[in-house]
Chain A
Amino acid sequence: MTDVKSNGGVRFGHTELPAAQQDALRKATKIEWATMGFLVVTTTLVFLVLGNSQAMKAAWIEDLLSFLPPISFLVAARMIRKLPSENHPYGYHRSTGVAHLVAAVALTVMGAYLLVESGLGLLKAEHPTIGGIELFGNTIWLGWLMMAVMLLTAVPPVVLGRMKMKLAEQLHDKVLYADADMNKADWMTAVAAIAGVAGIGMGLWWADYAAALIISTSILRDGIRNTRGAVSALMDKRAMTYDDTEPHPLGRKIDEYLRGLDWTRDARSRIRDEGHVFHVESFVVPAENSMPTLAQLEEAREACVAMDWKVQDMVIIPVAELPSEFLPGATSGGEH
């Protein structure tokens, strides 16, 4: 483990987000509050027309679960403002990862529960019963109201999801990314629920369970994917891009820069994603008989820190030979 010492005016990395990211964080916070406001309205509306449809119940529970990512994000956004302290020398950015894990586990559990419940309903052939409701003095079929409400709730999350997706990239925020990804797929839930209720209306009682199965499968899949991502991030998986598709290019950039210095023969780095920001440990092998001076080391570190705001914590360790047990693989990331 590296040791980060406070060292006068020397910067070991960015402890605060730069202006553009601060701005993105503010915007994202606003959008997440808007999401919560929207969810309060939709969960109330859907609850009022819930009835006996399993698909509607699944959609409602998914709406309730949709509160978790925004809450996690907002809580984490508060925590990361704290500077590293004596008891938390690595800072508080990991709170993002913890929030991510909590939300992901909740999704997984509820998805599995709904899947089993819907499957049992289908096996037991419990015909969903939906009767009339009084509306402005007329008795209409409650199913019509259900479909109308689901139609209303279909579009706004998609718009919110797109807005969040952009900010997630700017902020390198995986909770925001997961939230945006779920929002973008939210219209499918609405359509599936509508199809389920329409199926009941046509006398196809199983259509409701089929729709509920589709919805719960999508919840479960979101849950498993997010749990996997959150757990591996907490286990110090190497830093990936915000959507987890490839190793973050910063690792390669740092290694190339360090190798290019005239006093080094080789260099490799380990990078951990702390949530928003990275902790970088770079091992450098000095060239023959040229142990670097303190000034050269300082200069190299400053240059790496300046490469990207995400380099929050950077240490350079001169070594006689690269420690292969810490750096398995032939490449330093970004090449795959």
Chain B
Amino acid sequence: MRCQRLVAGLLPAVLLFLAGCGTAFPADPEGTLERVQGGTLRVGASINGEWVEFSSPSGGDLRDGDVQGRDADLVRGFAEQLGADIEWVAGTEQVLAEEIKHGDLDLVVGGLDDKTPWVTHAGLTRPYAESEDQRGKLHKHVMLVPLGENAFLLELDRYLMAAKESR
């Protein structure tokens, strides 16, 4: 059984490596968390009711003060925790999903829920809020993060869970 030996050899190797590095676990393949800490957080925002509103809905480059709403407040809190400046980008969900897929954004918000079709383009946070629409359907709200940037995602999940509890 060639396979068996390979797998049996793999486990000690993995454990040794884990014990050796011990620094960041999970780690980001593209280093998103390290880059945004004390740097710039690139956030895509899509207009959606109470979640994301623009005071000057012109699209394109936005100043920080132009974006309001529940999601915007959460993003500001998170950026503050990371010591990061926010670079807002306005766009439709589709445009923003393409951007984050290609690594041009770090976060996308806009009152998205966990049934979002953009799971092929981005990873989802844990649901941090719930709302009910006119048809009585429950929505669990999430944000989009770059695929596989697990340290960044875990940091954001922790922040969102803490924010949910303090509310």
Contact = CB atoms under 8 A, between A and B. Distances in A.
Contacts of A199: 14
A203 interface: yes
A245 to B, nearest CB: 15
Contacts of A218: 3
B147 A195 contact: no
B103 to A, nearest CB: 11
A204 B13 CA distance: 14
A313 to B, nearest CB: 37
B123 A52 contact: yes
Contact of B7 (A127, A131, A133, A192): A192
Contact of B148 (A128, A143, A188, A198): A128
Interface in B28-53: 28-29
B4 A188 contact: yes
A217 B161 CA distance: 39
Interface residues of B, number: 36
A200 B150 contact: yes
B3 A214 contact: yes
A93 B153 CA distance: 56
B7 A129 contact: no
Interface string A175-208: 0000000000100100110110011111111000
B25 A202 contact: yes
Given A127-B148, A132-B153, A134-B161, A141 B11 contact: no
B147 to A, nearest CB: 4
B145 interface: yes
A200 B24 CA distance: 12
Interface string A197-231: 01111111100000000100110000000000000
Contacts of B149: 127, 129
Contact of A132 (B6, B7, B146, B158): B158
Nearest to A132: B157
A203 B158 contact: no
A72 B41 CA distance: 56
Contacts of B147: 126-129
A31 interface: no
Contacts of A134: 126, 161
Interface of B: 1, 3-4, 6-8, 10-11, 14, 17-18, 21, 24-29, 123-126, 145-151, 153-154, 156-158, 161-162
Q: Which 6 A-B pairs have the closest CB atoms?
A: A127-B148, A129-B123, A132-B157, A203-B27, A201-B26, A131-B153
